[in-house]
Every structure is written in C-alpha cells, then in structure tokens.
Structure 1
Amino acid sequence: MSEVNGPRRRYDSARRREQAAATRHSVIAAARELFIEKGYAATTIADVARRAEVAVDTVYATVGRKPALMREVVETAISGTDHAVPAERRDYVQRLRQAETAREKISIYAQALAGIHPRLAPVYLALRDAGSTDPDSAALWAEISQRRAANMRRFIEDIASTGELRADRPADELADVVWSMNGPEYWILLVAERGWTPQQFADWLTDAWSRLLLERR
C-alpha cells in the first residue's frame, strides 16, 4: 500500500507547494502594485486581497500584516526573485568577487544596478514616503539604508584587493560616495526625469566610479 500511495503523496505535496508559492507571488505582486499606485497608508489588506483574488485571511497566512508585506515587496524587488537573497549569494556579487581588475568589478556592479533599479526604484520611493508617517516603514527604510552602506564598504574592500583603489581618501568616504550614487533616487533623477537609458546610466556609473575610486595611472 505504501508503495502505491508514496508517489501520489509526493505529487500532492509538490502540487501544494507550487500552489502556495503561486499564491504568495500573487499577494506580493498585488501589494507592490497598490503601494506604488495608492501609497502604503491608503492601501488596506482587503485591497491587497481583492487585487490578488484571495481571501483576507490568506494574505495574513501567506505573508502577514502590512509591515511584513512592505518588507517582502522591498526584498523581492532587490533580489528579483520571490524571496530575499543575501548579498553574498547574488549572482552579480559572486561574479564581481571573481573579477580580477577594479574596473571590471565596477562595471559588473553598475550593470547589475541598471537591471535592479527599474523594479526597485518605485518601491523604494513608496517605502520612503510611507516612512514619513509609519514607524515600521521608517525602521525598514533605515535598516535597508544601513545594510546598503555596509555592502558598499565591502565593495570598496573588494576593489582595494586589486591594489587599484586610490589611497589619498579614506575608504569609508569612498564607500559613502558609492552609496550616494547607487541609490534609487539617483536612478530616478537621471533615468525617469532626464530620460537616460539604463545602459547610459550603467556606462556613466562605470566611468564615474573608475575616475573617483581608482588611482590615476
């Protein structure tokens, strides 16, 4: 009996996991759309449930309350997947670490940002606006900002490992410069407002950071 039922149970279990993943995806996608369209404060869990075509209880069971929804929307926008992905496990970070020259590392990161910001920038601005009135969103904004700053210090350390990092300015200062230019706000200014293409943005960052961060040969 167990031999007959075993494959069936595995099939049913796999199907339930797929359905749960699809539901989670729909809930996060609905929350993302609404947070951008209406703003965090004006969006209710009922709105999200209606947009995702699920019950309100399903939203709570799948992701959680509104603060948890905002966190998942931000994290999935950063990772480009349905789950948060730590920086060291992202494909472009691994390629960056393996690159041999500083300019190649800079180019890999700049190209990655050109792929991330189209999906992240609108969410990031929604989070910033939400933080003006919602303490949970303000805390998440500060957390993401500090995490980004720490990652930029690791980025500068990685460039320094090539022996090409300029030595006349403090490494923390250089990391802060990269942090200020890799933010979605900078993307919005140049791409959304000034009409730059994503490739133009990536090329600019590669050139600018190479000039600002590296020793002059």
Structure 2
Amino acid sequence: MSQDVNGGRSYHSPRRAEQAAATRSAVIGAARELFLREGYAGTTVSAVAARAQVAVDTVYAAVGRKPALLREVVETSISGTDHAVPAAERDYVVRIRQAAGAREKIRIYADAVAQIQGRLGPVYLALREASSTDQDCRELWTTISSRRAANMRDFVADLRVTGELRDDLSDEDMADIVWSMNGPEHWALLVHERGWTTERFGTWLADVWTRSLTVTG
C-alpha cells in the first residue's frame, strides 16, 4: 500500500490491470470479427459490446468510439499483440537492422510481411473498401498508407548502406516498389485466390525484391 498526495491510501492491483487488459482484448477481438463480417458501416458500438459481453460504456472506456476501435484493430493486426508497437520496436525490424547483407534483410522483411498479412490483410481490405464512403476510414487509410511509405523509405535507406543496391533506381523508386507489394493486394490474390501458402508467398516476395533491388539479383 502507498500514500497518495491527499493523505489517502492508493492501491496497485495487478489483478485489476489483468482484467482491464482482458476486457480490452475482448473488445478489440469483437470489433475485428464484426468489421470483417458486417463491414464498418454495419458495425455498431452496441454490437461490439454485446459480442464482447460488456457494457457499451466499457467499450468507450477500454478503447473508444468506433473510429478508435477500427484503428486499434488495424494496429493490433500489424503488431500481432494487444497493442500498437512502433515500427522501430518491432522484432522483425530489429532483426533487419542487425542483419549484415541486403538479401538477408529482404528475406527477413518478406517473411514478416507474409506472416503479418494473415492477420492484417482482411482488415486492411475492409478498411480500403470503407474508406470510399466513410471519412474516418478514409483518414485512417491515408494515415496508414503514408506511414507505410515512410517506413519503406527507411527500409531502403538501411539496404543502401550495404552497397548491394542497384544504382539505376532511386531510393524513392525502390521504396515505392516495396510499398506497392507489401500491402494486402498481392497477398489476397496469391494466398486467397490462388491458394499459395504463407511460406511460398514470403519466399516469392523475397525473390522478387532481391531481383528488383539488388545489383546481381
């Protein structure tokens, strides 16, 4: 027990923190399920609350309004955890930075993209569709797309240091090439439509990027 500034006693309850985390996870999971099944417009906060078996006020307290729910669904799909993780702190980014050669960096990233799209792809495609009619979704789509583009410029800059990249393409062009292929579109076509495995998709991405970006390919 500890003393608060007003002389009263304050308490830290690990059990309460665990319960709050579990509630938040349930809310985000319910929102994900409903966004994918009903679409953004067809999903209500009350439906999310009912699916998560909590009160509507609990949804607002745990995550926020519907735009915040969608953002958290996207962010947790990217991170694979129950919270957003900045790009520089993600495990695969750390491993990319530590890898010595461009080919190994590309392989690590391609594998990460293949794994992430299994979680993110359906959500991202739903967000893209909703962005054509909903302003909140449009703003989130623009934010995420711009962030992806900035992250790819950082990725290519890290590759450039190895001395293995082509000189006839600018770093901006290379970043655009990677950006155009690390979204859900190629994943949906090859994995969902053509039945490729996640591993095959990751291997293909690494091969295409290596051939497109490096000197000897």
TM bucket (normalised to shorter chain) is over 0.9
How many Å apart are 1:216 and its aligned residue? 2.1
Identical counterparts, % of pairs = 66
Matches within 5 A, 1:39-78: 39-78=39-78
Aligned partner of 1:115 in structure 2 is 115
Residue 168 of structure 2 corresponds to residue 168 of structure 1: yes
Residues paired across the two proteins, number:
210
Aligned partner of 1:95 in structure 2 is 95
Between the aligned partners of 1:66 and 1:172, the Cα distance in structure 2 is: 35
Between the aligned partners of 2:33 and 2:85, the Cα distance in structure 1 is: 21
Residue 198 of structure 2 corresponds to residue 203 of structure 1: no
How many Å apart are 1:64 and its aligned residue? 0.7
| Structure 1 residues 160-205: Cα deviation after superposition (integer angstroms, max 9, x where no partner) | 0100010011110111000001111110011001111111101101
The residue type paired with residue 32 of structure 1 is: R
Matches within 5 A, 1:7-46: 9-10=11-12, 13-46=13-46
Between the aligned partners of 1:215 and 1:176, the Cα distance in structure 2 is: 18
Aligned partner of 1:5 in structure 2 is none
Structure 2 unaligned blocks of 5 or more: 3-10
Between the aligned partners of 1:179 and 1:133, the Cα distance in structure 2 is: 24
TM-score, normalised on structure 1?
0.94
| Structure 1 residues 132-170: Cα deviation after superposition (integer angstroms, max 9, x where no partner) | 111011000000000000101111111101000100111
| Structure 1 residues 93-118: Cα deviation after superposition (integer angstroms, max 9, x where no partner) | 00000000110000000111111010
The residue type paired with residue 108 of structure 2 is: I
How many Å apart are 1:61 and its aligned residue? 1.0
How many Å apart are 1:126 and its aligned residue? 1.2
Residue 176 of structure 2 corresponds to residue 140 of structure 1: no
The residue type paired with residue 57 of structure 1 is: D
Between the aligned partners of 1:123 and 1:187, the Cα distance in structure 2 is: 13
Structure 1 unaligned blocks of 5 or more: 3-8
TM-score, normalised on structure 2?
0.94
| Structure 1 residues 23-80: Cα deviation after superposition (integer angstroms, max 9, x where no partner) | 0000000000000000000010110000000011111111111000000000000000
